[in-house]
């Protein structure tokens, strides 16, 4: 709780459930454990923002490569510790899965299928937004999210925040030939999700 709330809010509230302000968090891993969170917070509203699968797969690949580089640099100095370190599910083996664009892309598909089934089941308690549409029309999207969440932001405040959105992040894969080629390979699978 301290890492989420910070010490000041933790000492005052102890748990997000006691906050007297609108709050939320973003963590894609919650996609598969959403029913648990909905048991804890039965009045929660769910916002599902999804992004192009090729861009997601590339992002996972870049992160995995960076993680492996760090591990490779640290290993010689810590190799005696590795044999006593407990082995966890995930970690290194998951990192290897994402080194390959296909691995990251298949993970994206799994998450989208799961998230879309939650959105459908939740009805008016959930909203779905395509990341690229948000970038094209941030003002419209932010107003939609404000209304969905019942927040008190003015149109002027939303306009000011919308002006900070970096629109060039949409379909980033189009700037790299190898990612364009991968996008062509998975075009049929992308079409299932409206891409």
User: Which pLDDT does position 159 carry in this prediction?
Assistant: 97
Low-confidence ranges of the chain (pLDDT < 70): 71-97
> Tell me: the pLDDT tens digits for 96-143?
667 789 999 999 999 999 999 999 999 999 999 999 999 999 999 999
Domain regions of the chain by residue span: 45-191
pLDDT of residue 76: 61
End-to-end CA distance of the chain: 38
Beta bridge partners of 127: 47
The structure's pTM equals 0.79
> Residue 191: which H helix or E strand, with range?
helix 187-191
Q: What is the pLDDT of residue 92?
A: 47
Stretch (H or E) spanning 70: helix 53-82
31 within 8 A of 118, measured Cβ to Cβ: yes
């Amino acid at each position: 709780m301290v890492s989420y709330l910070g010490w000041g809010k933790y000492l005052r509230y102890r748990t997000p459930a006691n906050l007297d302000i609108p709050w939320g968090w973003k963590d894609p891993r919650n996609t598969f454990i959403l029913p648990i969170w909905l048991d804890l917070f039965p009045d929660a509203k769910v916002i599902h923002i999804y992004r192009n699968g090729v861009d997601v797969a590339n992002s996972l690949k870049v992160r995995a490569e960076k993680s492996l580089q760090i591990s490779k640099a640290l290993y010689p100095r810590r190799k005696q510790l590795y044999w006593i370190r407990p082995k966890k599910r995930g970690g290194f083996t998951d990192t290897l899965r994402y080194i390959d664009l296909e691995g990251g892309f298949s993970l994206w598909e799994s998450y989208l299928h799961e998230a879309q089934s939650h959105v459908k089941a939740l009805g008016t308690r959930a909203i779905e937004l395509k990341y690229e549409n948000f970038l094209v029309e941030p003002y419209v999207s932010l107003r939609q999210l404000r209304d969905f969440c019942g927040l008190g932001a003015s149109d002027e405040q939303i306009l000011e925040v919308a002006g900070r959105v970096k629109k060039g992040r949409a379909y980033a894969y189009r700037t790299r030939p190898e990612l364009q080629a991968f996008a062509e390979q998975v075009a049929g699978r992308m079409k299932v999700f409206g891409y």
